[in-house]
Structure 1
Amino acid sequence: MQHNVDVLVIGAGQAGLAMGYYLKQKNILFAIVGKEDRIGDVWRNRYDSLVLFTPRWFSSLPGMALMGDQNGYPTKDEIADYLEDYAQKYELPVHLNTEVQRGVTSVKGLYFLGLPWQYRRGSALIGGVGDDAEYLINDILKIK
């Protein structure tokens, strides 16, 4: 099966979901892919006592505040659940258990990305991955 999107966002964490929020505001056809089983699993699978070092007011994503004391510090599980709720609230097209295998440019300037279960074609590729992952960034998309 093939899906055509204008933008493919790699990574279903904070950066990828925030990018999805803005793409949806602009009515751009996009998809977000993440290799985890569940949104927020990157946070859920960290050590139990982890608490963010930034307060809730600073840790929120666009359009949705973290609940609770805005000057308090959220736990890892609170962030994990928040990310899942965020994706549901904005009905973001997230495809989990999906890891990008490769990306190449065609003569038309489009990226063909080999995914385990299908091919996607898009005009822009955005790496919304964390600081410990390899970045894949394309400057075709300019959000104003």
Structure 2
Amino acid sequence: MTIAQVLSQRLLLCLALGWMGPIQSAPPACPDAADISALQLQGQWRVQLKAQAHAWRLELKPHPEHIGSLRGELDTGSQRFAVVADWDDGEFTLEESHDGQRIAATWLGKLSPNGCAQTLMGERETAQGVTDSFEMRRPVTK
């Protein structure tokens, strides 16, 4: 192969790569439920119960006494309640207390199939046995 042929091939290769535009990296894959830890669920959440007209705000932080668990506050707009939460084998559990001693409601949920670890769905059951479905979403940040 002559020098002219090598240079011609390199020029064609450079032109082809230039026409393809910059190389785009693939978007990161959504994590599976098995790849999530409780600490990845810390932060702000917007909670919508099916029976409620307006969304509630939930904040989760690492639990200071139980490593791997979460503690936080559920703000309904008119009241605030203490909560503790866990993520175990792909299942979300949250216990809501209105007096700081007794469980007023238990929440059981899983990752939404298309939520990319930003949406949880499940059921909330009060101590009186009243159930309602819920959806938790990370608030959109700009």
Please give the TM-score of this superposition, normalised by the length of structure 2. 0.23
Between Structure 1 and Structure 2, which shows a larger proportion of helix residues? Answer: 1
Please give the TM-score of this superposition, normalised by the length of structure 1. 0.23
If asked which structure has higher relative contact order (CA below 8 Å, sep 6+), I would say 1
